[in-house]
Amino acid sequence: MGKVLVFGHKNPDTDSITSSLVIANLERKLGNNDVEACRLGNVNKETEYVLNYLKLEAPTLINDVEDGTEVILVDHNSPEETVSNINNAKILKIVDHHRLCGLVTDTPLYFRAEPVGCTGTIMYKLYKENGIEIDKKIATLMVSAIISDTLLFKSPTCTELDKKVGIELSRIAEIDLEKYGMEMLKAGTDLSSFSIDEILNLDAKETLLKSVKTVINQVNTASIPEVMKMKDDLERGMNKIINEKGLDLFVLLITDIVNSNSQVIALGKNADLVEKSYGVKLEDNTALLKGVVSRKKQVIPIMTENA
């Protein structure tokens, strides 16, 4: 048997990258030495900040897995978000905080899903349950994921447990939550080195809202007007992707991490679904969605209901 490969979802975010590293570490502590943290895409700027802070290498980049490979999935469980050969791999474990949406396995597996804001929070519990000490590095990885997924505890996805665990981990990590957290989140808003196509792919999720074929992409910023300067180019890129993928709707959320709002740009024949879902009028394809920061809690379910 080859190595067990651990990975999070495509277009990896901080939770996907850090949880791969963290669970690989836990597996080793539990005696499973043949485990390798991997990733299914480029490391974003926010995660890069975390890895640089800890002087850690990014997990190994893989595009797919060979038949029979043993894998552990973190921060996802959907077929669309994982390797394409997942049905011929052997899933040993899944640790996740998303809804179930379609993976089927041939054999029993360890499956741990909790409705919390971040995989990092579940990882913390796994260390505790196994009596494994959390060192400074591991604590920093976990708390970074919690800061990222909960936008520093401000997202409606954030539970009391995420907050409690985040504060506890920040002590072990010896970081100032507010200072480190804002620096980390702000690092993730630097779009200067990306092309329009890259920006439109950084955190894109393809999903069906009932029968409406949709891509929802989220870009964090500290200044909505700064990102809106690129609106014409973004729309050109969005229309190109709509044509290529045969989408009914492309939703771009430009999320202000300081004030907790999102400016939405919506294109495609079902763009009115945004108007219907939020009671807003799109002007020039765009509107401000006050208080909306979570794709998982405030976008996908609400738009599905209205589709």
Q: Which residues bind Mg ion (CB under 5 A)?
A: 13, 15-16, 75, 119, 149
Give the separation between CA 188 and CA 48, rounded to whole angstroms. 8
Provide the minimum distance between the beta carbon of 121 and Mg ion in the complex, in angstroms, as a whole number: 9
The DSSP letter of residue 283 is B
Whole-angstrom CA distances from 107 to 30, 111, 176, 261, 268 are 22, 12, 44, 43, 41
b/e per residue 27-60 (b: at least 16 CB within 10 A): beeeeeeebbbbbbbbbbbbbbbbbebbebebbe
Give the separation between CA 263 and CA 243, rounded to whole angstroms. 23
Q: Which is nearer to Mg ion, 117 or 268 (CB)?
A: 117
Q: Which is nearer to Mg ion, 16 or 298 (CB)?
A: 16
Q: Which is nearer to Mg ion, 65 or 123 (CB)?
A: 123
The residue of the chain with the least Cβ separation from Mg ion equals: 15
Q: Which is nearer to Mg ion, 62 or 113 (CB)?
A: 113
Provide the minimum distance between the beta carbon of 78 and Mg ion in the complex, in angstroms, as a whole number: 11
Q: Which is nearer to Mg ion, 287 or 293 (CB)?
A: 293
Site of tokens 């209205």: 306
**In this structure, are residues 192 and 223 in contact, taking their beta carbons and an 8 Å threshold?**
no
Provide the minimum distance between the beta carbon of 33 and Mg ion in the complex, in angstroms, as a whole number: 26
Q: Which is nearer to Mg ion, 157 or 270 (CB)?
A: 157
Provide the minimum distance between the beta carbon of 246 and Mg ion in the complex, in angstroms, as a whole number: 25
Provide the minimum distance between the beta carbon of 15 and Mg ion in the complex, in angstroms, as a whole number: 3
Give the separation between CA 216 and CA 201, rounded to whole angstroms. 10
**In this structure, are residues 14 and 145 in contact, taking their beta carbons and an 8 Å threshold?**
yes
Provide the minimum distance between the beta carbon of 118 and Mg ion in the complex, in angstroms, as a whole number: 5
Give the separation between CA 132 and CA 122, rounded to whole angstroms. 14
Terminal-residue alpha carbon distance, the chain: 46
Provide the minimum distance between the beta carbon of 97 and Mg ion in the complex, in angstroms, as a whole number: 6
Q: Which is nearer to Mg ion, 13 or 48 (CB)?
A: 13
